[in-house]
Structure 1
Amino acid sequence: MLKDEMNVEKWKNVLRSNVWNGIMPVLKLSYRNLPPHLQRCFAYCGIFPEDWRIKPDELVYMWMAQGLLRPHEESINTRMEDIGRIYFDDLSSRSFFQMLEHHNGKYYVMHDMIHELAQSVSKEECFRIERNNVQRIPSTVRHLSINTDALLQLTSICDLKNLRTLVIFSYNHSIGSDVFKQLRSIRVLDLTRCKMEQLPKAAGELIHLRYLAFADTLKAVPPSFYRLYYLQVLDVSRSSLPILFPEGMDKLINLRVLDVPGAFTSQIARIGKLTSLQRLAVFRTSKKKGRKIVELQNMDELRGSLVITNLENVHSMQEAAEAKLNQKEYIKKLTLKWATLRRREVTMIKFSGASSRIRISKI
């Protein structure tokens, strides 16, 4: 709570206060001493069920979708994802999140008392439907999660037009067209555990949507889906592919995260329009318009690893130069693949001119 506070008098004030009569008053004091931006981000966690395994990246993107991340003047050029991770690490260092290890890796949870605190401070805006506590949801609620097998008529218990978050944590629900028509303010929609095979046409009217995760049973989306121009995160990693029409994906120009198998991204025509995209596992070059190497030209936000395949379709050094790999300052590893060696030497000269920060793996 006071780990960064150097004012002795403030330490004495806390010592003299009457909060030491139980754990919860102390935790509430810790919350009140958080900076406002961290208070808002922590309160948002009130939507999660008890003992929920929190993935930092997913939570950061939810915060970002809700407009909870604010760059300081000294970090005006810092990525929103990096600002969000700073927020998360700050809350974790103050013990609001607890890191645990599993054989599958590390994850984070909130201690039972911290989870109770999150519910307490967010009760006006966050609501969780659990077990059989189905009731009329207050009109002040903006963030709703569902973790019950009870069948619900959401339109009759909630004023859906005010919701900014809807997350389904149970597997026995399907969201109908009547619900989508009323989600006028929704920004975060997580349907990964829903039972639905087709996204309703009304989904294309969710103009404020920033974060969308598809159900693992979803198999089709309507053409109106590609009107979600402000979508930043699209997670279809659990879905049954193919569910999208790759020919329309280039319209989602604000996408930062596209979590799909690499084979799917290679089918997206004019992917170069997605200039905010952060990661692209595989780019398969082609001779066809909209799939040539030039599509990489303005994708300067790509980071991590990138695999470029079928480079025999790149016909000259000039064409290879159009990819402008020297501008991809965030890519750390580049793998180049040829189906044949006929043009390998010609294009390799130019690709070797990529940024010195990139480690090139020649295959």
Structure 2
Amino acid sequence: MADAVANVFLETLRNLVVEETKFLLSAGADVQKVKGDLESIHALLMKADRERRDSPTLKSSIRQLKDLAFKAENLLETYDVEVQSKRHGQKSLKEKFQRYICIIGECCSIHEVGNEARDIISALADLTKKLESELDHQGSSSHSKQEAEQQRLLRQTYAHEVEHDFVGMKKDIQLLVSKVKDETRKRRVVKIYGMGGLGKTTLARKVYNHADLQSYARAWVCITQQFQPKAILCKILKELDSSVTKIEDLEIEDLVTKIHSLLEMKRKCLVVMDDIWEDDHWEIIRQAFPVNCDVILTTRSQDIANQQSEPHTLEFLTKDEGWTLLQKVADISPDDTDLKSLEDIGRKIVSKCEGLPLSICVLGGILRNKVHTQWIEVNLNMESLLKHGKGVGIYEKVNQELELSYDALPYYLKPCFLYLACFPEDDIIRTEELYLLWMAEGFISYQDKEANETLRDVAQRYLIELGMRCMVQLHEVDTFTPLTKFVSCGLHDLMHELCSSKAEKEQFLMRIDASKYLTDILLPTRIAISYDPSSNPSIDGLKEVRGLRSIIVLPKHYCSIPTMGFKESMVNFKMSRYLRIFVVEGCKFEGEKLPSKVGELIHLRYLSLWGSNVRELPKCICSLPYLQTLDLRVSDDIKLPNVIWKMKRLKHLFLDNGIEVIGGEKLKLGGLQELETLDKISSETACIADIPTLISLQKMGVEVRDVDVDNMSIVLNNINSQLRESHLSVDSCDFSSEKGREVLNHGMMSPSLVSLDIWSCIMSSSFPYYKPEMCQNLKELRLRDCKVKVDVKDFGKYPMLQHLWLEIVETEETLTCHSNSFPRLEQLRLRNLHDLKVWEAEEGALPKLEFLSIDGCPNLEKLPPPLFE
């Protein structure tokens, strides 16, 4: 449908109007009325989205819904901050007297809030009636039905279509044909999976029409998004046995039985189901196929038939394959006198297509019979040509093909996908940042949270689902962590274009270049500004923009020095007082200070100063009662007021070691009961004793330096059951006492321990010996300049260890790596190990070692042959 983000506004209204107006309205019937209207609207919009309904009336209704949600959210949060907060904490007689004086004013405020809340209830009721009427009218409209049927026919594929311009896939065809012919296979279902326009149907058609399979009983059926099970089963039955009559009179159950019986009698049979979108569609159809029947599915969803099929992932074309395809489609003869000059520009065009056959075919059709100068023009205007497909002929428009993937997204994933438009093209998107932005915007539903899950876990599931649907490209972490599966993600250029155009069209979000004057553009409530750090960037016109909910300023590529100039006068904070997201990364603030007016943004959820030059945080930061994420990983040291402990809703705090607490005290953190991420603090500047009070902590990064055993125990032996990932650095500490050894031994047993760096520490005679379940999730271990003897082969038993650094420690003279030891180790550094003389490795040891550094080991005489042949 036209606007995919209606569920976000419904979630906001559900959480704020239903739950928080109870104390305002004091009327259960009114609250239930709001709840009923919300559920009705949600069901109606879900239906409209599921049936791909679209109309000006629906667009108008969703805009009204958006306005209502924003109005309710702003109203209730403002009331909570300005009125409710004044009711707590009065103790003295003077304070009580002042409190009575305020009551009269508060009564007026409550009355105003109550009236406005009732206006929202009335507007919701009107909106429900309007949506019901619109959907009933559309459902009965013959024009709508004709339009849906036309779209279905346009998507229909046929087995007999001839692929004139075909490149690559020879190995894919050979592999799939061999699988079909292999009658010993247990699983006879193959799923061809990949992004829209990648050639899944082409590959399936080549296999279906292969000479070796012509004797098979065969059927080809195209599913499409408009799933019609009876029509599909009828088509399969007709193709398998043309003599069957009165097929249309049969019920679905009879069709399934007939197809199953027919195929069971045949020894060799193949059915291709092209363009299947939902797992439920396959579940309905699959019962018609006996175990001896080979089935090939093509789909954009990795999850389709996941447990019952062999996945075959289709890859993008190589640059050479792309150029060959472009030559074929553009009808370039090998004898063409301009071939060399055309190839130079043609390869640039292919490179921009990033190996997607459909886009290469579209451009090839445009380039047919064109001269060199016209090829240059096509190269310069690729985005527009791919979007509109002018002159393409039989080839579909690329944007239409990719839009099908967007249309098929579940209701809750559409706003998450559109939000990716705020990142520049070809940008590597940090997943940690993305999850927290989604959460701050309200895209992640509490209703999807399972037991023992956080909203961040739900956000990660949403991203994985987008990846499984080929909407985003996921990049796995280089080193394992219990909390993070993917370190970053990205978008194919064409998918980024779709994402940006959709977000702009639906007035959801707009990303613009910093060089543009903002008021020349009609802006939505979310704006993302990207800039080139090397071009002396600045922002003009932002102060004239009103009603913003999100301001995101991001560099197009990493830069260690802040470059984007940012003055307080650039933003009119009064007109943007309802701001939820304020991301100003890599910015050069005037006077190296964050504008004090940021403290007036009481609705703010997310504040990031990552990579900026802010040297001091104003005390007013504690006046942000709804702040969830605070990122203070600035480019240099930063002074902090000791007020962060007052921000009770804070969930994610990012710091660098270079902090200084104003007033000389250590940073207090006690009382942050909702804090889930603490990355990272040092015992020199923060109160380590506060860590056990952080009862919701999931991820922790701590540096402990020159402290006693009791403080080490707080960090290493934190028994908080919620903690899932900890990164610890211990410097200049003494573990030599009995209690110190006990603390270290107990800490090494923690399943949350992911990285451990022990530097210049006094330890007992030997490092803790390996025990079952010790360091079961430890991925990085560094022992440097420590008075301790280590048995290196013990580290080979750590199941997840990927990086090991040993420097200036005592070792055995002989290091033996037994078979299957160090199963995941990728990097090994051995420095200044004077005791080490012989290194032996059995076959099967260190199977994943990629990097090895040996330095300052003068007595090492023998190296293991398997590693150095």
Say whether the 8 Å CA contact 2:637–2:658 is kept in structure 1: no
User: Aligned ranges for residues 248-259 of structure 1 at < 5 Å?
Assistant: 248-259=643-654
- Separation in 2, partners of 1:265, 1:181: 31
Whether the 8 Å CA contact 1:43–1:121 is kept in 2: the answer is yes
Question: Please, which of 539, 558, 572 is the counterpart of residue 179 of structure 1?
Answer: 572
- Where does structure 2 lack aligned partners over 5 or more consecutive residues? 1-274, 286-296, 301-393, 480-485, 532-536, 557-562, 762-869
Deviation at 1:23, TM superposition (A): 1.7
Residues 29-54 of structure 1: per-residue CA shift (max 9 Å, x gap): 21111011110101112222222221
Identity %: 22
Counterpart code for 1:138: L
C-alpha separation in 2, matches of 1:326 and 1:154:
48
Q: 1:357 aligns with which of 748, 751, 765?
A: 751
Does structure 1 residue 116 correspond to structure 2 residue 497?
Answer: yes
In 2, Cα distance between the equivalents of 1:347 and 1:101?
37
Match of 1:188 among 581, 584, 587: 581
Mapped pair 1:219 → 2:609: no
Structure with more of its chain in helix, by fraction: 2
The SS at the match of 1:297 is helix
CA apart distance, 1:100: 6.2
What residue is the counterpart of 1:138 in the other structure? 522
1:128 aligns with 2:511: yes
Q: Which amino acid aligns with 2:408?
A: N
CA 1:119–1:336: 2 relative to 1, 3 Å:
closer
For the structure 1 residues 207 and 324, does the alpha-carbon distance in structure 2 shift closer, same or farther, using more than 3 Å as the test? farther
User: CA 1:28–1:239 in 2, change beyond 3 Å: closer, same or farther?
Assistant: same
Q: Mean Cα displacement is larger for which, 302-311 or 147-156?
A: 302-311
Q: Does the aligned pair in 1 maintain the 2:436–2:456 contact within 8 Å?
A: yes
- State the shift of 1:352 in Å: 5.8
- Asked whether the 8 Å contact 1:249–1:268 carries over to 2, the reply is no
Tell me the residue number matched to 1:147. Answer: 530
Shift of 1:152: 0.5
Partners of 1:101 and 1:327 in 2: CA distance: 28
For the Cα contact (< 8 Å) 2:430–2:489, is it kept in 1?
Answer: yes
TM-score (norm 1): 0.78
CA offsets 1:231-284 (integer angstroms, 9 cap, x no match): 222222233212423x22222333332222235399743212233142344452
- Cα 1:47–1:358 change in 2 (3 A) is closer
Contact (CA 8 Å) 1:312, 1:338: kept in 2 or not? no
Deviation at 1:73, TM superposition (A): 5.2
1:117-154 Cα distance to aligned partner (Å, 9 max, x none): 11222111211222654343436x11101235465121
1:79-98 residue pairs with structure 2 within 5 A? 79-98=454-473
> Relative to structure 2, which stretch is displaced further, 180-189 or 50-59?
180-189
1:6 counterpart residue number: 280
Q: Which residue of 2 aligns with 1:278?
A: 677
SS of the equivalent of 2:644 reads helix
CA separation in 2, counterparts of 1:340 and 1:5? 56
Distance in 1 (CA, whole Å) between partners of 2:514 and 2:707 is 55
Q: Which moves more between the two structures, 128-137 or 335-344?
A: 335-344
Offset of residue 208 of structure 1? 1.6
Is the alpha carbon distance of 1:20 and 1:211 closer, same or farther for their aligned partners in structure 2, counting shifts above 3 Å? farther
Aligned to 2:405: 30
CA contact (8 A) 1:216 1:239 kept: yes
The answer (yes or no) to whether the contact 1:265–1:282 under 8 Å persists in 2 is no
Partner of 1:230: 626
Structure of greater Rg: 2
Per the alignment, do residues 323 and 332 of structure 1 end up closer, same or farther by CA in structure 2, a change over 3 Å counting? closer
CA 1:283–1:182 in 2, change beyond 3 Å: closer, same or farther? same
> What residue ranges of structure 1 are gaps of 5+ in the alignment?
none
Secondary structure of the residue aligned to 2:613 is: coil
Structure 2 Cα separation of the partners of residues 236 and 313 of structure 1: 30
Kindly tell me the number of residue pairs found equivalent between the two proteins: 347
1:206-228 per-position Cα deviation (integer Å, ceiling 9, x unaligned): 11212211152222232212212
Report how far residue 20 of structure 1 moved.
Answer: 7.6
Structure 1 residue 297 displacement after superposition: 2.0
In the TM superposition, residue 180 of structure 1 has moved relative to its aligned partner by 2.8
2:441 to 42, 61, 66: 66
Map of 1:52 onto structure 2: 427
Q: Secondary structure at the residue paired with 2:678?
A: coil
Return the structure number with greater relative CO, CA threshold 8 A, min gap 6: 1
Indicate how the Cα distance of structure 1 residues 155 and 2 shifts in structure 2: closer, same or farther if over 3 A, else same.
farther
Alpha-carbon distance change, 330 to 192 in structure 1, aligned in 2, over 3 angstroms: same
Amino acid at match of 1:35: P
- Counterpart AA for 1:80: L
Superposition RMSD in Å: 4.1
Identify the range of structure 1 (20-29 vs 3-12) with the bigger mean alpha-carbon deviation.
3-12
Checking the alignment, whether the CA contact within 8 Å between 2:652 and 2:677 is kept in structure 1 is: yes
Measured after TM superposition, the shift of residue 80 of structure 1 is: 1.0
1:348–1:327 distance in 2 versus 1, CA, 3 Å = farther
More moved, 332-341 vs 180-189: 332-341
In the superposition, relative to structure 1, how do residues 309 and 193 fare at CA in structure 2: closer, same or farther (>3 Å)? closer
Q: TM-score, with normalisation over the residues of structure 2?
A: 0.35
Task: Give the superposition deviation at 1:200.
Answer: 1.5
**2: CA distance between counterparts of 1:332 and 1:169?**
29
Shift in alpha-carbon separation, 1:216–1:113, aligned structure 2, 3 A: same
User: What SS is found at the alignment partner of 2:751?
Assistant: coil
CA distance in 2 between partners of 1:271 and 1:4 (Å) = 47
Q: Return closer, same or farther for 1:309/1:112 CA change in 2, 3 Å cut-off.
A: same
Paired amino acid for 1:357: P
